[in-house]
Amino acid sequence: MNLEALSTGLDRLYPNPQCALDHKDAYELLVATILSAQSTDVRVNLVTPALFSRYPDPTALSRAVPAELIVFIRSVGLFNNKAAALIGMASQLVESHAGLVPDRMDALIALPGVARKTANVVLQNIWNRNEGFVVDTHISRLAQRLGLTTETKAERIERDLMSTFAVALWARRSHQLILHGREVCDARRPACDRCALFDVCPRVGLST
């Protein structure tokens, strides 16, 4: 893998990558990221306006009735688990953090429904802090196809990507790889014929 060529290609394709989840603050991004598990950002963005109108802050969400909350989030999937996680997360914010989203990795991953991926999203996009590398399904797939990792577990993939890219680029590369996974490098039908990274990609695991 020619890392310099890969980086140049990503920067050319996605010069201004941004988080695709609509949000106004740390609370909204935390909720949206929890909802995005095994869903799409597009779908999440459709449900969050009404959700945040009804539950505008952690205090309101902590008092939510699960059945009522599910009405707002049913379409994102896994709604029972996500409702429980959201209420638990909000309750812990109120009880332990004065209703504020913490800005530390250890405190974030202690919240219900929050693992390293979600914590990294919040830290990078709200506080511009690179404490890790976001690893979602798109990044897992691309990291393997690009030969950046041979691992399959998220934390090990994250470790490999953290050692591959400079710390200052972790958020940028995360956004770029996610965008490329959505737009070009599909899980089932990767569009290699129109991929601008074709010449630098070893296409690990792809037969054609």
Catalytic residue among 41, 136, 153, 160: 136
Distance CA 105, CA 115 (A): 9
Six-digit token string for 183 = 């737009």
The SS3 assignment for 171 reads: helix
Rg over CA atoms, the chain: 18
- In terms of Cα–Cα distance, which of 56, 105, 112, 57 is closest to 82? 112
Active site residue 117: yes
Catalytic residue among 24, 106, 117, 186: 117
Give the ranges where 14-62 is alpha helix by DSSP (H). 26-35, 41-54, 58-62
End-to-end Cα spacing for the chain: 18
Kind and range of the H or E run holding 81:
helix 79-96
Catalytic residues: 117, 136
